[in-house]
Amino acid sequence: MDDKGKFTETMVAMGELYDKELSPVLVNIYWTALKEFPDDAVLNAFEVAMMNLKWFPKPSELREIITGNAAELAHQAWADVIKAIESGAGHRTVQHKHDLDPQVESMVIELGGWRRLAGMTYRDLDFLKKDFVDLYRAKSSRGAVTALPNNVRRISNET
């Protein structure tokens, strides 16, 4: 978030909507929690919160609106792993990195590595998906996974 004036203006409007008194300290706490995200993402999160929440949102609720919850992110990360396998990433050597988030890469290694996953049937991969999602959610709940839209890398179709 670059526009602190627009941010403060939106916070004040939300405070009026939810009948919540906002001190400069509280606004600063929210600013600190959300400043890493693009302006449009934060403003959209405020709008979603105003349309859907009955009470003034906590910073963590706004962050979840922006990034998605851990389960959604885990399923998206698994889809990225499958795309990497389908593009032949599983047959590459360790020196050839794919465009997956390094944290997702480490989870693939924990589940047996790229070669193992690339050799599995889709049915076996479907069973492994549960383990991946559970691992992702566990790491996410411990803060070991940071899934931020502005620094998540997507898989390219290039080999």
Query: Do 17 and 36 have their domain in common?
Result: yes
Query: Do 76 and 60 fall within a single domain?
Result: no
Q: How many domains does the chain have?
A: 2
Do both 44 and 9 map to the same domain?
A: yes
Tens digit of pLDDT for each residue in 25-49? 999 999 999 999 889 889 999 999 9
Residues 78, 119 within the same domain: yes
Calculate the alpha carbon distances from 127 to 49, 121, 133, 141 in Å.
35, 10, 11, 22
Pair (101, 41) in one structural domain: no
What is the structure's pLDDT at 17?
Answer: 94
**Whole-number Å distance between alpha carbons of 66 and 29:** 17
Range of the domain at 117: 70-141
Same structural domain for residues 97 and 117? yes
CA distances 107 to 101, 103, 112, Å, are: 10, 6, 9
Residue pair 153/102 in contact (Cβ under 8 Å)? The answer is: no
Same domain, 54 and 75: no
* 63/93: higher pLDDT: 63
